[in-house]
Amino acid sequence: MTLNIGVIGTGAIGREHIRRCSQVLQNSRVVALNDINRSNCEQVISDLGLQAEIYDNAHDLINAPDVQAILVTSWGPTHEEFVLASIKAGKAVFCEKPLAVTAQGCMNIVEAEIAAGKKLVQVGFMRPYDSGYRALKHVIDSGEIGEPLMLHCAHRNPEVGDSYTTDMAITDTLIHELDVLRWLLKDDYVSAQVIYPRKTRKASSHLKDPQIVLLETAKGVRIDVEIFVNCEYGYDIQCEVVGETGIARLPEPMSVQTRSAAKLSTGILTDWKKRFIDAYDVELQDFINNVLSGEMTGPSAWDGYAAAVAADACVAAQNNGEIVPITMPARPAFYN
């Protein structure tokens, strides 16, 4: 079987997903495209040699009879509208983060999906598909290091543009940790605090960088996450889990070790796309397989909602410097 996919949004991540679905992954075909700029769709068709129809209206694409599933990779504030429309049309939808720009928007999607009576939504959190994170979770779940007590994490980028703002450290950067750490620990957050160390001279005048986010979970695990988006030296993701009887660390990406000029060294990636390129392939193949099998098992709309609730608390903590409580309602049985 081949899944006919329509893609809304043909920017950088949209183009990459179109390439994957067309040239890398199995049992998928991109048959429809939409973008606020029609020429972007035309360029993608030309570059990738696609045979796909261009729709000037995203809702027309969603409701097209030959489109079986939707990828939403458009501007973040449009996600809620297009995901809700996909649910209404009864079609599976893969939505890049954020699922919606507010927690209430995510809850609107959760409620619509429950009302539809079938899981249709997968959120584009790729880290649970990364082989390193999966290996780390296996160690945690095995009990090899005992119950987790603390996590020390870091999310570092070489640099960001002037349009990057202080709150984006949460909504664009930390959001991945907010999702994957819940998944690692099988636990929800109960509080957040943000601390600002000395500011780097490399940051824009309006940007507070670096930042440290302190989280507490319902089981009492304490988490610190360093966010440093102008570190210069590379794209570096770290996660260390301190357990009762041992410590487990996220594996480093594979890198050739060299001996040269009196130095022993290994390279550090600078491109986030290369760090998680395999995870992107695995997550989208999982979505395709799930749609064809009729059982959605990837990051759910509830996971998108949980991340949004935590992100809202972290942004509030950025602004008031206080410990902000995080309150999550009980997980609906629909998502168990």
Do residues 296 and 290 make contact, with C-beta atoms less than 8 angstroms apart?
Answer: yes
Length of the chain (residues): 336
Do residues 78 and 71 make contact, with C-beta atoms less than 8 angstroms apart?
Answer: no
How far is residue 211's CA from residue 164's CA, in Å, rounded to a whole number? Answer: 14
Vertex 152, ends 104 and 281: CA angle to 5°?
Answer: 65
Residue 311: per-residue pLDDT: 96
Low-confidence residues in the chain, pLDDT < 70: none
Which CATH superfamily hosts domain 128-271+307-335?
Answer: Dihydrodipicolinate Reductase; domain 2 (3.30.360.10)
Please list, in sequence order, all residues whose beta carbon lies within 8 angstroms of the beta carbon of residue 49, skipping any fewer than 6 positions away.
none
Where does 43-102 show beta strands of DSSP type E? 53-54, 69-72, 92-96
> Residue 192, class by beta-carbon neighbours within 10 Å (0-12 exposed, 13-18 middle, 19+ buried)?
buried
Residue 273: per-residue pLDDT: 79
Do residues 231 and 203 make contact, with C-beta atoms less than 8 angstroms apart?
Answer: no
Residue 272: per-residue pLDDT: 83
Ramachandran area for residue 220 (φ above 0: left; ψ -120 to 50: alpha; else beta): left
Q: What is the pTM of this model?
A: 0.94
Residue 291: per-residue pLDDT: 98
Do residues 241 and 250 make contact, with C-beta atoms less than 8 angstroms apart?
Answer: no
What are the residue ranges spanned by the domains of the chain?
3-125+277-300, 128-271+307-335
Q: 3-125+277-300 domain in CATH 3.90.1150.200?
A: no
